Structure 1
Amino acid sequence: MEEILREISELANHASTQPTETELPGVWIIKGEVPQHQLSAVYEPMIGFIVQGGKTISIGDQTLKMKSPSYFLIPMEMPAAGRVEQGKNGLPYLSVALYLNQESLLQLIRDVPDDHWEKKVNGEFIGCEANQEFAEAWLRMLRLLNTPEHIPALFPAYEREILYHTLLGPQGWRLRQLCFANGKAPRIHQSIRWIRENFKKPFDIKRIAGKSGLAVTTFHRQFKEITGISPIQFQKQLRLLEARKLLVYSGFSVLEAAYEVGYESPSQFNREYSRFFGESPARDASRLRKLG
Structure 2
Amino acid sequence: MLARACAILPTWFTGGVDQLAELRTLITRYAVGQRGHRRHLIDGVQISKLEGPSEPTAGLARPSVTVVASGIKRTLLNGVPYEYRAGQFLVTSLDLPVVGQALKASPDEPFAVVSLRIDPVEISPLLLEAPALPPQYAGLVVSDVTPELLDPVVRLLRIADRPDDVRVLAPGIRREILWRLLTGEQGALVRQIGLADGLLAHISEAIRWIRGHHNEPVRVADLADLAGMSTSTFHRHFRAATSMTPIQFQKQLRLQEARILLRTQSVTAAEVGYRIGYTSPAHFTREYHKAFGRTPGEDRTNFTSSVVAESL
Q: Normalising by structure 1, report the TM-score.
A: 0.91
**TM-fit CA distance, 1:165:** 1.8
Equivalent in the alignment of 1:128: 143
The change in CA–CA distance for 1:96 and 1:168 in structure 2 (over 3 A counts) is same
In structure 1, C-alpha distance between the alignment counterparts of 2:54 and 2:267, rounded to whole Å:
21
Runs in 1 of length 4+ with deviation above 6 angstroms? none
Equivalent in the alignment of 2:8: none
The change in CA–CA distance for 1:123 and 1:18 in structure 2 (over 3 A counts) is closer
Equivalent in 74, 93, 98 of residue 92 of structure 2: 74
Opposite residue 28 of structure 1, the aligned amino acid is Q
**Are 2:79 and 1:64 aligned?**
no
Equivalent in the alignment of 1:93: 111
**Are 2:231 and 1:213 aligned?**
no
Equivalent in the alignment of 2:38: 19
In structure 2, C-alpha distance between the alignment counterparts of 1:3 and 1:266, rounded to whole Å:
54
Equivalent in the alignment of 2:159: 144
For 1:1-292, list aligned pairs within 5 A.
Answer: 1-12=16-27, 13-15=29-31, 16=34, 17-22=36-41, 24-32=42-50, 33=52, 35-36=54-55, 39-87=57-105, 90-110=108-128, 112-113=129-130, 116-119=131-134, 121=136, 123=138, 125-292=140-307
Which SS does the other structure have where 2:262 is aligned? helix
Aligned residues of 1:61 and 1:228 also touching (Cα < 8 A): no
| Larger displacement relative to structure 2 (252-261 or 275-284) | 275-284
Opposite residue 282 of structure 1, the aligned amino acid is G
In structure 1, C-alpha distance between the alignment counterparts of 2:263 and 2:162, rounded to whole Å:
40
Aligned residues of 2:120 and 2:195 also touching (Cα < 8 A): no
Opposite residue 212 of structure 2, the aligned amino acid is E
Aligned residues of 1:248 and 1:286 also touching (Cα < 8 A): no
Aligned residues of 2:156 and 2:170 also touching (Cα < 8 A): yes
In structure 1, C-alpha distance between the alignment counterparts of 2:67 and 2:151, rounded to whole Å:
12
In structure 2, C-alpha distance between the alignment counterparts of 1:35 and 1:251, rounded to whole Å:
26
**TM-fit CA distance, 1:184:** 1.6
| Larger displacement relative to structure 2 (155-164 or 173-182) | 173-182
- How big is each residue's C-alpha offset from its partner over 1:37-75, in whole Å with a ceiling of 9 and x where there is no partner? 5x4111121111111101100112421011111111111
In structure 2, C-alpha distance between the alignment counterparts of 1:135 and 1:240, rounded to whole Å:
36
User: Gaps spanning 5+ residues in structure 1: where?
Assistant: none
Which SS does the other structure have where 1:82 is aligned? strand
**TM-fit CA distance, 1:99:** 0.8
- How big is each residue's C-alpha offset from its partner over 1:140-185, in whole Å with a ceiling of 9 and x where there is no partner? 1111124331112211111111112222333332221123344321
The change in CA–CA distance for 1:123 and 1:28 in structure 2 (over 3 A counts) is closer
Aligned length: 287
**TM-fit CA distance, 1:18:** 3.5
Aligned residues of 2:138 and 2:189 also touching (Cα < 8 A): no
Which SS does the other structure have where 1:190 is aligned? helix
| Larger displacement relative to structure 2 (182-191 or 13-22) | 13-22
- How big is each residue's C-alpha offset from its partner over 1:180-213, in whole Å with a ceiling of 9 and x where there is no partner? 3443211111111000000111122222222222
The change in CA–CA distance for 1:119 and 1:49 in structure 2 (over 3 A counts) is same
In structure 1, C-alpha distance between the alignment counterparts of 2:207 and 2:103, rounded to whole Å:
31
User: Gaps spanning 5+ residues in structure 2: where?
Assistant: 1-15, 308-312
Q: Normalising by structure 2, report the TM-score.
A: 0.85
The change in CA–CA distance for 1:88 and 1:288 in structure 2 (over 3 A counts) is closer
Q: What percentage of residue pairs aligned between the two structures are identical? A: 28
Opposite residue 190 of structure 2, the aligned amino acid is L
